[in-house]
Every structure is written in C-alpha cells, then in structure tokens.
Structure 1
Amino acid sequence: MPEEALPPDEGVPALPDPAPDLDAEADPVDAADDPDAAESAATKVPLEEIRRYVGLFNAIRQGYVDPVEDRKLMNAAIRGLLFDLDPHSAYLEKRAAEAFDEGTTGAYDGIGVEVLQLPDGKVRVIAPIDGTPAAKAGIRSGDTIVAVDGKPLTPADAEGHGPLRGPPGTRAVLTVLREGEAKPLEITVHRETIRVASVRGRMLEPGYGYVRISQFQVETADDFASTVERLQGEAGGRLKGLVIDVRSNPGGLLTSAVRVADDLLEKGRIVSTRGRNPVNDTEFSATPGDLIDGAPVVVIIDAGSASASEVLAGALHDNGRARIVGSRSFGKGSVQTVMPLGNGDAVKLTTARYYTPSGRSIQARGIDPDLVLKPDTSEPEVASTTPGYTEATLPGHLRGEEEEEGTTAGDVLDGDGPIDAALAELKKPTPGVAPAPTPAPVGE
C-alpha cells in the first residue's frame, strides 16, 4: 500500500447497491401501521436531516468569509460521513484511489512506508517497507510524521498522493515525533520508485528455511510458493522446518494471505468474515496439499503485524500448524470493501470483522504469541521501538469482542534476535511427531 492509503486493506466480498433509492416524495411510515415499516425506513434517507444539511451547505456558500467551491464543500461533507465511523473507512478521490490500487502491485514513486492517516493531517507509521528509502533512513514503526520539508501536514494533504510521494531522486525532509525522544527528529529521505518484493527467503542453517513476507500483494502467494520450492531444493528436497516472518507486515490483500495459509494446510478453516449484511459473511477453507509435507512452522509477529498478516498467523496457529513467537500483534480485525464510483473516486468502507478458525475475533485484540519476545534493549537502535498504540487505541475504532481495558501494545521487534528465537522454537520436538530426517546433500 502506498503512503497515503490507510492500512490495509483487503480484497473482500461485494457490497449490495451502495446508493439506495432516494424517495423524497414518500410519506413517512409509522411502524404501528405497517409491519414492514422498519425495513422501509432503512432504505429511505431521513428528509429532516437532508434539509438540515442543505441549510448548512447554503449558509456556508453564502456567508463564509471567502468563496468556497461547491465541489470542495461536497467532498468535505462526504469525508465527514465516513470520518466518525472508524479509522479505516475513507473516501478516496481519484488519485488516492489509484494510489491505493498501486499498493497491491508494489510499484509507485515515494519513500516506501505504510501509514495511518490521522484526523489532524499527520500520519502515523505502521511500518517502513523493507529495503526502501524510509527503512534505510531509519523511519520506525510508531513514528508520527508531522511535517514534510518544514510544512506541517494538514487534512488536505490526505487527498491525492500527498507530499510523501514525488519523482524519484527528489528529497523530502521529514519532521518526526518518536516516543522516547524529547524533540522532533529531522530525517532526510530520497524518494525512489518503490518496487516492493514482498517475499524473500534464505536458509538459516541446513534444513531450516526462512521466509520474510513484508506485505500481501497480488503476487505474494505465487512468490511464497516459488521461494519455498527453492528452499526445498537447497535443503536437498525436504525442509526440516520453516520460519515465516511477518513482523511489521501491515497487511494487504486478504486473498493472498488465504493462499499462503492454504499452501501449508491440508484441511481446516482459514478465516471467516461476518458483517451486518449477510452478503459480507464468507468463509475460506484449506484444500489438500502442504508444500512442506508437514514440516514444523514457526511464525514471527510483532506490534506492527496487522490485518492479513494476523489472518495468516491465526489460521496456522488455530489449525495446530504453527507456533507463534514475538509480541502481540496490532489487532486490525476489520474488513474494508472498496467500492469504485463512476468518476474514478472510491469509497473504502468497513463491512465485516475477521474471525480466526477457532471463532475468535482479531479486532482490537490481536494475536497473542505462544512465546513472548522482548526487544534487545542493549542495542541502541532497538531500544525505543514500542509503538505505544494498537488498533484498540485508535480514536473511533470498532469495539472488539475480546478487547481488554488498558491493554498495552506489543513491541516492535527489530533485528535477528527473534529469528534466532524462532529457529530454536522450530527445533523443539513436537509431542507425538517424529523429527524429519536429515536430507542428503545435493548431488549425493
């Protein structure tokens, strides 16, 4: 996802007609006189509220100190309809809608950071994308960008691509607030064409593979399968275990996360979604076939792991396919449906909640690891990586079914320490399961 797109996220089921008929001439229906009154009322726009809106619209047009374009007023009103619903519902004007779509392909011009748009125009960093200018410059999960090139960010900057975007080679000086820092930081980032490879893999040691998934894009599932196949070959035909790292993975396409889970599951539910409208109730289940033939799996998560990455972790854990290490994840358990409009704009509307295979809601709770890890505070670069916020702390968030009062955020876990811990966990014998045989070296 590009910088100005709200996190995550998802490829989701279709909505019913988003624009019910407006019957301005219909008389109000009293429920006492008509048994279908409740259903009828739900499909009609309340005329008194429309009159109140039109009155205010005209008052601003006629009385505001400077002339205001009708389109600007209408756009502000539309954004206002969505603003107080939850942090992830938003109106995307054409350029912003295009930018949102770009995030699923992984190519755009900018600094390479996933953010949440705040009401005052500032942006909160969910995660810098691996290998991008933002990551190289030291931008961290939990940072708040308050100005670009000395110009404070305002709500107007959320429209279109925003000031974090720009031609490759241009420079952006970011003013950043960071927890634990007494003064704002000035961080210089040079924009590039961001082509994000969402999957990377390597051997940790003979027989044990490691796959890093930085976000879930259109090609992620295919890239995951090919990476695992390559690692299998390097291991002599069969892996003894696999570490999947989704630290600071802010999500992406739900369908990609589902396919990755399916690649490691023989059977079982992967995820279900439930909303107020039955059309948004879906269930994804695994199909036979496990890429690594039952070899143990460990998934690493942290406070920056959100949405689709939580779906993957929850699916593998609840099906007994993987152990989870790290810290409690972000807790974004809601589904957004993107509804294109005729003029190129789009509406991103929260329509359902995610449920793990065991029936638990991720929303405002997140995934709890089996083994809790803490940052290595002996290293200065990771000493202040707790983001201090979760989905549960975002203003106007959907109430979670398992939300806890006073729940604190997990930690952002940088460095190789969590990988070492995951590998050690991977080597622990599983009760009732014989250890995988050591593969013969290639060529023998």
Structure 2
Amino acid sequence: MPIRFPRASTLSGVMLGVAIGTGLSMALGVYADKTSPETDIPLEDIRAFSEIFGRIKTDYVKPVNDNKLMEGAINGMVESLDPHSAYLTPDMFKEIQIVTDGKFGGLGIEVTADRGFVRVVAPIDDTPAAKAGIHAGDIIVKIDNTMVKGLTLQQAVEKMRGKPGSKVTLTVLREGQSKPMSFTLVRDVIRVESVKATTLAPGYGYIRIAQFQQQTGRDVKDALDKLLRENNGKLKGLVLDLRNDPGGVLSSAVEVADLFLDKGLIVYTKGRVADSDMEFKATPPEYIKDTPMVVLVNEGSASASEIVAGALQDDKRAVIAGMQTFGKGSVQSVLPMRNGAALKLTTALYYTPSGRSIQATGIVPDVEIPSLQEAASKSQPDFLKEADLSGHLENGDSANGVKNDLKTGPVKVQSKLMIKPAPSELPPPEAKQDKEAEVPQSSSRLPDLNKDFQLRQALNMLKGTATYVRSDGKPASAPAELSLNLPKAANQ
C-alpha cells in the first residue's frame, strides 16, 4: 500500500534555514526598548517559574545544567507564538547571517517540524539534498541511526550538520511510496547559485530563481542582460520560474520586482509597532517594458517568492501560472541579544499592493497548471502549507490591521482558468515520480520542455498557443478573461 499522509492539523515547529536550508523573509534590526503596561513583568508568573526551576534543580532524577534549563524555557516560550519565531543561539545566529550571503555548510534543505518528525519544505537547487533526490514534502523519520521522533527541531538540525565531506543517511517517508526510502548525502559547503537563465526558443527567455539572497536582484539584472544579448536586444516573452523557491531576503524580492515595474507599491508591511510598518515602491525605469511575462509558482514557493508574484499579479504585469503557493506572509525581525544570541520574532504581516494578505492563503495563480504527477494523481496530493502549521497566524485583513487569531485548516481558492494535460501526456499510475525533472536542480542541466509540462505551457502562453479551460470545464480565452499582455491563443 502506498504511504498516505493525513492532512496535517497538529503540526508544530519553526522554519529553520541554519546550516541545512535558507531562512524565509526577515528583516535584520534592533527594536528600541519600550516600556508600557503591556511590557510590565508579571511578578506572580516569574515567582512560579522560579519555584519550578528550583524544584527541577533539587528533585529531578539527575542533575540538570542551568543553561540547558534556561535555553529550554526560552525555546518553549518563543515557539509557542507561531511557527516562524525562534530563539537563535550564538552559533545559530552567526550561521544565519552566512546563509543570507549564499554560502553555508550543510545539506541544502528547508525544513519544519511535523508531528514529531521533520518535513522538507523544499530542497535548494544544486545542493546535496537536491542532487540526492530529496523532494518537497518528504518526512524525515531517521537521521543515521537516530530516530527523529522525540527530538526537537533544533536537535534534528544539529544531527544533520557536520563537517563538509562527511556522510549522513536520511530515512524518509514519501507520499505514494509503500516503504521508507533511504538517502545517503555528502555534506558540503553550500554555495547556492541563486539565478539561472537560458533562451527557451528564439526571443523567449527563462530565468530561474532558486532562493532570494543579498545579490539576487543584481544577478537577475545580469541574467536579463544575457538574454537580451542572445536575442538581438529584444525579448518576445519571459518566464520567471519561482517554483520551489522558499524565499530569503526581503530587500532582494523588492529589487527583483522593481526590475519589471516602474511605479506604485511592491509590498508593504503592517505590525503592532511603528517600526514594523514599511512601504516599498517601484522606481523607474522598468527594465524590459511591455515584454509579456509568465511567473511560475507552486506549493514550494514561499515568502519572498510570493512577494514578487503578488506584486506582478496586482499590477497585471505578468500572468501567474502554476499552483497555489505556500502562504508564508509574515515578516521576521532578527533581534540581537546581549549574550550573542538573537530572537527571530514575527513582527509584521506583508501585503500585496492591492492590500491582500498572503498569510495562510498564498498566491492563487491566474492560470492553474498542475504538474503531470499532480494531474495523474487520483487523489489531491498532501502538500505542506502555512495553513497546516499549528499556531500559524490568521490571514491579515488590510482594513482591520494584523489579526493574531489562530487558524486550524488549510485555505484553498480555486483559480478561474486552468490548463490541463491531455490524457496521452499523463504518466502511467505506476511510473516513478520524477519531480526534480520538472524544476531544474543542476546548473549543468537546462530546463527540459519535454518533461516539464508547466514550463512548456508557460511558453505556449507567451506564444499564444495555449488552450485554456474555466474551472467549470468550459473553454476560455485567457487574454480576454484576464486583460493581460498576452497574445490571443491561436487555437481559440
């Protein structure tokens, strides 16, 4: 029997990008000390904490280190807030700063806690995890000979770290597979190639962003220059591929969006304190003005990816195609502490230019395009979403400010238009899934239009040869339906 994952409703944990993956959107900074009735210390609770601390010190079955007790108490306090707030030890804080520069040690996966195990949000292109065949959604149940059940997320992360060149074996459960799968990975110093580019067909460019790093905006501009040189200074269309891009640096997302916009808001943030309310606006000139664009997203597109997709969708600058995104619409500020540690604290939600909060909902594509594996699946695949995480923040309403209510169920919004594969294109039910063939995982391999249905249809949309249907199954004409800068479909 294939493994089936129930819809996760009791997930807990935090996204960690230290040593094995990349952190989601965050702002580095220090908030000024503030005193108010809300920050008064609850003396009775402190007395209770002190009493419990003392009881553990004197009555627990074996001696416990004071630092271990305090760190455990801090972790519990912070992790009870939401899935993305976390306490970073001094070593973790140093590493997270290295991660945003695009060079760090580890395996190259974004992970979160899931019912006592560790689930992969997305592998990062060109890393040991991606090359070994780790997939988004895999649940890690064993690291070498240690069962993950019972470990904290931080403890599991520590076990996956190690000296570059050393090996680690991950045992995972995968949707649709009848038995656990084992992967032996060689740890490496991760140098993530954030941006790749190629010409798909004469006049039609392709840019892939694996994650948003400090230099990603500059790298995308360089990629556009390369594509323009290859195509005599003019592009008929451009595909921007953000699939399985877990996010990264907020400012880089703004820089990328600004390349394709010349005015108006790109994104704004809203929180409880004035320091967290910010606006980011586009500046002229637009780099490739009027070039038709399709932005590809999927369930692994999160945070900074959603900022870019949301800005281009609201401006009607690009058609967003693929599958509904992860829904990570909160901003984390990394606040350094006196002891060299740091507090990664959720301080705001971000909003698209039209005032939409992406939190726990994600970006709904203008045109839904499933992968061939998703289209062939007899049941809806169980992809991890922000809305599945225990304690996640409610979707924010721009009229009412930030809502801190908790939500327990996933949010699914149907796209109005779809492109479906023909029955002859679907793989047989017993065919082995090859998700890494759909999204390029190696800089030495160009995207394969024969294997990548979503990319092939994105190119067809730009050429005007795509066949669209409405959600009710009736034929549709996408350019007329969406009022977007696309050629009219040739077969409509």
AA of the residue aligned to 1:52: A
Are 2:426 and 1:390 aligned? no
| CA deviation vs aligned residue, 1:220-279 (integer Å, no higher than 9, x gap) | 111111011111111101211111000010000000000000011011100010011121
Could you say what secondary structure the match of 1:294 adopts?
A: coil
Could you say what secondary structure the match of 1:11 adopts?
A: strand
AA of the residue aligned to 1:11: A
Cα distance between partner residues in 1 of 2:30 and 2:323 = 34
Match of 1:183 in 2: 179
Cα distance between partner residues in 2 of 1:321 and 1:13 = 32
- 1:17-416 equivalences under 5 Å are 17=33, 40-118=36-114, 120=116, 122-153=117-148, 154-156=150-152, 158=154, 162-377=158-373, 386-401=381-396, 406-407=410-411, 414=439, 416=452
Of the structure 1 ranges 155-164 and 327-336, higher mean CA displacement relative to structure 2 is found in: 155-164
Label 1:4 to 1:435 Cα distance change in 2 as closer, same or farther (>3 A): closer
**TM-score by structure 2 length?**
0.78
- Root-mean-square deviation (CA, aligned residues, Å) is 2.7
Match of 1:25 in 2: none
| CA deviation vs aligned residue, 1:382-437 (integer Å, no higher than 9, x gap) | 99994532100101101114789553599x8655211111111222396799989x
Could you say what secondary structure the match of 2:360 adopts?
A: coil
Match of 1:27 in 2: none
Match of 2:463 in 1: 427
AA of the residue aligned to 2:141: V
Cα distance between partner residues in 2 of 1:151 and 1:361 = 40
Could you say what secondary structure the match of 1:163 adopts?
A: helix
Label 1:330 to 1:378 Cα distance change in 2 as closer, same or farther (>3 A): closer
Structure 2, gaps ≥5 residues long? 1-16, 398-406, 415-434, 440-450, 465-477, 488-492
| Superposition deviation, residue 320 in structure 1 | 1.2
Label 1:372 to 1:239 Cα distance change in 2 as closer, same or farther (>3 A): same
**TM-score by structure 1 length?**
0.86
Structure 1, gaps ≥5 residues long? 22-39, 437-444
Could you say what secondary structure the match of 1:232 adopts?
A: helix
AA of the residue aligned to 1:152: M
Label 1:110 to 1:248 Cα distance change in 2 as closer, same or farther (>3 A): same
| CA deviation vs aligned residue, 1:81-125 (integer Å, no higher than 9, x gap) | 1111000000010121122222211212222111124573x3211
Could you say what secondary structure the match of 1:162 adopts?
A: helix
AA of the residue aligned to 1:170: S
Label 1:434 to 1:341 Cα distance change in 2 as closer, same or farther (>3 A): closer
Cα distance between partner residues in 2 of 1:219 and 1:160 = 30
Figure out how many residues of one structure are paired with residues of the other and give that number.
413
Cα distance between partner residues in 1 of 2:29 and 2:484 = 39
AA of the residue aligned to 1:66: K
Q: Percent identity?
A: 45
| Superposition deviation, residue 146 in structure 1 | 2.0
Runs of 4 or more off by more than 4 Å in structure 1?
3-7, 382-385, 402-406, 412-415, 429-436
Label 1:372 to 1:316 Cα distance change in 2 as closer, same or farther (>3 A): same
Label 1:408 to 1:149 Cα distance change in 2 as closer, same or farther (>3 A): farther
Of the structure 1 ranges 152-161 and 220-229, higher mean CA displacement relative to structure 2 is found in: 152-161
Cα distance between partner residues in 2 of 1:305 and 1:229 = 25
Cα distance between partner residues in 2 of 1:430 and 1:385 = 29
AA of the residue aligned to 1:286: A
Cα distance between partner residues in 2 of 1:352 and 1:274 = 5
Maintained 8 Å contact 2:19/2:104: no
Of the structure 1 ranges 4-13 and 299-308, higher mean CA displacement relative to structure 2 is found in: 4-13
